[in-house]
Structure 1
Amino acid sequence: MTMPARTGRARGRRGAGILSLLPSAADYRALPRTWRGDLLAGVTAGIVALPLALAFGVSSGAGAESGLITAIIAGVVAAVFGGSNVQVSGPTGAMVVVLAPIIAAHGRGALALVCLFAGLIVLAAGVLRLGRTVSYIPWPVIEGFTLGIAVIIFLQQVPTATGSHGHSTNAAVAAVETLRAAQWPKLGWSLLLVAIVVVVMLLSLRIHPRFPGSLVAIAIAAVVAAVSGMPVDTIGRLPPGLPAPVLPSFDLATVSALIGPAVAVAALAAIESLLSARVAATLADTGPYDADRELVGQGLASVAAGLFGGMPATGAIARTAVGVRAGARTRVAAIVHGVLLLLIVLVGSAVVSRIPLAALAGVLMVTACRMIAPRTVRTILRASRSDAVVFCLTAIVTVSVDLIYAVLIGLLVAGFFALRQMARTSGVHREELPGAAQPGDERIAVFRLEGALFFGAAERTLERVAGLRDVEVVILRMSQLQLLDATGAQVITELIASLERRGITVLVKGIRPDHRGIAERVGVIASLRHRNHLFEDLGSAVAHARSHVVRGPGVL
């Protein structure tokens, strides 16, 4: 094949790779069968997302309008360009925790730049195909994260469900504060609306799995509240419309100050979105998700939201779960969710403003409970002690500290247990010499290295060889060694040098082709007395060892 032909093919593959990150007609192939469910799910998710978007905007310090803009603009952009068929994107509680100190330190004017920088970082990660790194997150970490998210979602609804407010940014602490501050009769009315929603949603499951229980429950609760004149909080007045997009101005000093916060926001957006998409793919038969395309979509969503005055966007598992449970099967549901929010802002704000917040809290409480799979929890807790520890620790840190820290700590602990287990599988075993015994064989030792010889196991594994006595020749069999890193190669090098200094000849048999490079670079082969002491088969190594024992150590 000529050089131009090879170059053309390479360009073609790169072009095809870029095209796979863009929207296509295949995204909507199932729409003729699912459009009713998608439409209803989008409406349900949009109604549930409305108060959350407003509340998250206020909590972050960016304002209610910023949260609503994010839900509309980012919700539609991420739905069209993202890699999940059912992901609903927008402002989230986890992002609020990260954004609040940034806005407090740099002001609301910095929000647009943080959006743009973070969005571009996430977009670049998608183009560079880094999305599949989430596949390295172990199952117990994913399920612990999901359990923690479900608990946070439930706890976040306690203030609304009780008609009171807390001051802490931690969901668990805020829930306790609101329970202490709750007062009758407002508490009773709010809990009554929550109970109505819960009962209607549970009964709807008996009618049909796709019955719009959440939508019906919200409608019934709103009617009951309006007719009885309950003194409960409602959504209230909405922003009048969307602003025009504006490119923010910036200088070098501002950029330098915001790069660090933008990286933190981008990391959270990427991790939360990918985990949310992965969890969403397990909630129903909605098809696989493309992790790289999801990053591209989320990056573009944050950039677009920043231009309109919004916040960085992430995949929102709560709203996604609501949509899936309501029948979402294609990305049209998420698009409808964003379009509905826009229509509400433009024409329907008066009606929606009367929806009780307690009713929406009931919907999310039921959704949070349905996110927890008791069978999965039992399976992980019974699988092994290490899996149970990783699962519980991830869930606890998610609720008590932060989502990013939870994933990082879960990965570190899971990695520690994995390395410990790998170290246990590695070993050094002394073997008998093959064939009939010959004089002098007692002064030859054959050791088989197997498993993984890496930094966590190298020293302990080779201590047995280093303590040999009354031996003139040692044969190290390395063909069964599955993993060899620089530390393991260095320990072998030091072992060979130590044995040679004691007058013990070392022969190495069967270095694997994938280990030969590191063995040469670190010095394993160079530490041998002679290149002839490197063998491909055991028979030749044993014969050479016997010649040393018979004729003396001077033999090469």
Structure 2
Amino acid sequence: MPAKQAGPRRAHTLRDAVAGLGGAISSIPDGMACGLLAGVNPVYGLYASSSGAFFGGLATSTPLMVVTTTSAAALATGSALESVPAQNRDSALILLTILGGLLMWAAAALRVARYTRFISHSVMIGFLTGISATILISQIPTMIGVSTSGPSAFAKALDLVTELGHIDLASLVCGALALTVVGVLGRTRFVALGALGAIAIPSVIVFFPWFDDVAQVRETGDLPTGLPMPEIPELSLLTPELIAGAASVALIVLVQGVGVRESVPEPSRRPNAVSRDFSAQGLANVASGFFQGMPVGGSVSATSLNIALGARTRWAAVFRGVFVLVLVLVAGGLIGRVPMPALAALLIYAAVMSIRPREIVSVFRAGGIGRVTLLITALATLLLPVATAVGVGVALSLVLQLNRDSIDMRIVELEPTDDGGLRELDPPIVLHSDHVTVLDVYGSLLYAGAHNFANQLPSAADRVVVVLRLRGRVTVGVTFMKALVEYARRLDERGGHLYVSGVDPVLMSRYREKVGLPPCITVVEAESVLGRSTLHAFDEGTRWLAAQRDSPDEE
């Protein structure tokens, strides 16, 4: 059998190359804008766009995913670098990017990606809405030529109100022109050229005398004109704040990467596919850091554009990374002339387009705790550093999950019918003496669910048998097992017995070894026919009760 081809297929090479070129053109303004958002030289965003797409494209399990700069990761980066002195910020950026990549590798190895499903939808919508609002607040001053300060986005917004009387008209014209160009072209088939036109046209008009004072990229620092050379991070700059920032970037990239997988056609269904995608993003970040870039991650917008441009394989992203570097080398001298208000306008446009009004409305219509969670997460993003806001979101998701476990858990009674089936009834508050009661459990039996289970169990009576159905449970916690044993002992003290039916044999043998099961619990293992083990337990319990009635009472 011929060996599997490692390089691009000929049939797809031209399509992938065209898609890569179109993506590279859009990456130039996007990468520079993300560098601006992170508060570093925009060239770092360009180098990241090249390294991220190239190395990420080679390694992902989602072939059409594009790993590049993202607004959310850039904002988290800027927040982590705020306390770093200006003269150390470039070196700290490299260290942050590499550290974030290493944390992504560790998370992939530990299969952390599978836990992203526990992050509440309302938390994610609130966080993304807060991110969009923060970008708007941070970039409007640059677009209109004023400066603001404050410890949070909310404080900067208040400061912006006081500066509205000092708007620089030339900067406002540049920003408005960029917004118009990207807004118009973004609705046409020339969407790939929209962002490029939004910086190219304002870059031409700054040559006119009236625009001499408009801030330009070259004022942010020296702009390299050659290939990015590998750079070793300065470990002396490692601080707890930088580690927290790298962790928040890693978490944001993880969640966004999962979203990208779901947005592409026919994503890989292999069990380890999500972890491999996250590992690939870790590789892209380590490479980006070594080659003087900023943090990168799976981008929904870049991936959507990649698909729209006709990409067929992963080599479209690889071509994209190569073309970005070529464009930087060819047009590097012109990058310094790009007006900062134009880049700010691009970020404002991206922030507005990333707001999801329909999903926000759906969460509010659903009401309840989801609405409160969305508001809390959005406000936390506006009022707190991004790393802290991410922590608040994760904590809220955990609380919501535990609350859901507790609410969803309920106990029902199953009554055997004449035709061999089981009828569902409300459970009794107190068990009936000399009676076999079959109980089934819905919902989670972990954490709060286990405590709720213990509270909902019917009170014991004299000489009763309880059959508890656990069909389909592949894992139960120690808290549940403790509640189960205590309930069995209460039944035993009053001359009763507990049967547990439908139990996975591997699960129960594990708990026999680790916890130990007392004699007052009888386990009936699951059978292939649904309900059969429960009916067997019911019959055994009935015979057990009859034997207790026939046996002489002890004096």
Q: Same fold (TM over 0.5)?
A: yes
Aligned with 1:510: secondary structure?
Answer: strand
Report which stretch shifted further, 543-552 or 63-72.
63-72
User: 1:375 & 1:221 partners in 2: Cα distance?
Assistant: 33
Q: Is the 8 A contact 2:409 2:452 kept in 1?
A: no
Structure 1 pair 455–99 and aligned structure 2 pair: CA distance change class (3 A): same
1:238-277 to 2 correspondences below 5 Å: 238-241=222-225, 244-247=229-232, 258=238, 264-277=244-257
Q: Is the 8 A contact 1:448 1:478 kept in 2?
A: yes
Structure 1 pair 76–389 and aligned structure 2 pair: CA distance change class (3 A): same
User: 2:240 & 2:179 partners in 1: Cα distance?
Assistant: 43
* 1:177 pairs with one of 117, 134, 159: 159
User: 1:401 & 1:302 partners in 2: Cα distance?
Assistant: 25
- In the other structure, the counterpart of 2:178 is 197
Structure 1 pair 168–42 and aligned structure 2 pair: CA distance change class (3 A): farther
User: 2:411 & 2:188 partners in 1: Cα distance?
Assistant: 63
Aligned with 2:150: secondary structure?
Answer: coil
1:544 aligns with 2:544: yes
**CA apart distance, 1:108:** 6.9
User: 1:107 & 1:360 partners in 2: Cα distance?
Assistant: 21
Structure 1 pair 371–55 and aligned structure 2 pair: CA distance change class (3 A): closer
User: 2:234 & 2:122 partners in 1: Cα distance?
Assistant: 44
1:389-400 to 2 correspondences below 5 Å: 389-400=372-383
**CA apart distance, 1:403:** 4.3
**CA apart distance, 1:448:** 0.8
Q: Is the 8 A contact 1:284 1:324 kept in 2?
A: no
**CA apart distance, 1:31:** 4.8
* 1:89 pairs with one of 60, 66, 69: 69
**CA apart distance, 1:545:** 0.8
1:271-290 to 2 correspondences below 5 Å: 271-280=251-260
Aligned with 2:215: secondary structure?
Answer: coil
Q: Is the 8 A contact 1:73 1:304 kept in 2?
A: yes
Q: Is the 8 A contact 1:117 1:259 kept in 2?
A: no
Q: Is the 8 A contact 2:135 2:347 kept in 1?
A: yes
- In the other structure, the counterpart of 1:8 is none
- In the other structure, the counterpart of 1:15 is none
Q: Is the 8 A contact 1:41 1:322 kept in 2?
A: no
Aligned with 1:467: secondary structure?
Answer: coil
User: 2:522 & 2:52 partners in 1: Cα distance?
Assistant: 66
The residue identity in structure 2 corresponding to 1:77 is F
Structure 1 pair 136–465 and aligned structure 2 pair: CA distance change class (3 A): closer
- In the other structure, the counterpart of 1:5 is none
Deviations 1:224-273 (A, max 9, x none): 443462242222254234564354687xxx6xx94866753543343222
The residue identity in structure 2 corresponding to 1:517 is S
User: 2:254 & 2:240 partners in 1: Cα distance?
Assistant: 21
* Structure 2: unaligned runs, 5 residues or longer: 419-431, 525-532
- In the other structure, the counterpart of 2:137 is 155
- In the other structure, the counterpart of 1:220 is 201
**CA apart distance, 1:343:** 5.2
Q: Is the 8 A contact 1:103 1:110 kept in 2?
A: no
- In the other structure, the counterpart of 1:352 is 335
Structure 1 pair 105–474 and aligned structure 2 pair: CA distance change class (3 A): farther
Structure 1 pair 52–328 and aligned structure 2 pair: CA distance change class (3 A): farther
Deviations 1:315-339 (A, max 9, x none): 2759848966984847667666655
* Structure 1: unaligned runs, 5 residues or longer: 1-18, 436-440
Report which stretch shifted further, 127-136 or 88-97.
127-136
User: 2:28 & 2:174 partners in 1: Cα distance?
Assistant: 20
User: 1:207 & 1:105 partners in 2: Cα distance?
Assistant: 43
1:368 aligns with 2:360: no
Structure 1 pair 429–282 and aligned structure 2 pair: CA distance change class (3 A): closer
Structure 1 pair 464–444 and aligned structure 2 pair: CA distance change class (3 A): farther
**CA apart distance, 1:368:** 1.8
Aligned with 2:441: secondary structure?
Answer: strand
User: 2:495 & 2:314 partners in 1: Cα distance?
Assistant: 69
**CA apart distance, 1:54:** 5.4
Q: Is the 8 A contact 2:66 2:298 kept in 1?
A: no
User: 2:342 & 2:385 partners in 1: Cα distance?
Assistant: 27
Structure 1 pair 522–472 and aligned structure 2 pair: CA distance change class (3 A): farther
**CA apart distance, 1:183:** 4.7
- In the other structure, the counterpart of 1:475 is 466
1:379 aligns with 2:371: no
- In the other structure, the counterpart of 1:427 is 410
- In the other structure, the counterpart of 1:497 is 489
The residue identity in structure 1 corresponding to 2:403 is R
User: 1:109 & 1:367 partners in 2: Cα distance?
Assistant: 28
- In the other structure, the counterpart of 2:512 is 520
User: 2:154 & 2:44 partners in 1: Cα distance?
Assistant: 25
Deviations 1:410-468 (A, max 9, x none): 34433433433333443344566878xxxxx8532514141244442444434465634
User: 1:314 & 1:426 partners in 2: Cα distance?
Assistant: 41
Structure 1 pair 485–531 and aligned structure 2 pair: CA distance change class (3 A): closer
User: 1:294 & 1:484 partners in 2: Cα distance?
Assistant: 30
Structure 1 pair 92–80 and aligned structure 2 pair: CA distance change class (3 A): farther
1:223-234 to 2 correspondences below 5 Å: 223-227=204-208, 229-230=210-211, 231-234=213-216
Deviations 1:513-554 (A, max 9, x none): 25423653576731518999x995211211221231343566
Report which stretch shifted further, 144-153 or 68-77.
68-77
**CA apart distance, 1:373:** 3.0
Structure 1 pair 406–28 and aligned structure 2 pair: CA distance change class (3 A): farther
User: 2:92 & 2:198 partners in 1: Cα distance?
Assistant: 40
**CA apart distance, 1:46:** 0.8
User: 1:283 & 1:463 partners in 2: Cα distance?
Assistant: 42
User: 1:424 & 1:89 partners in 2: Cα distance?
Assistant: 40
The residue identity in structure 2 corresponding to 1:220 is I
With normalisation by structure 1, the TM-score equals 0.75
Deviations 1:462-509 (A, max 9, x none): 44656344x3223233345846321121112112223333x3322424
Q: Is the 8 A contact 2:37 2:74 kept in 1?
A: no
Aligned with 2:217: secondary structure?
Answer: coil
* 2:104 pairs with one of 110, 122, 139: 122
Aligned-CA RMSD value:
4.4
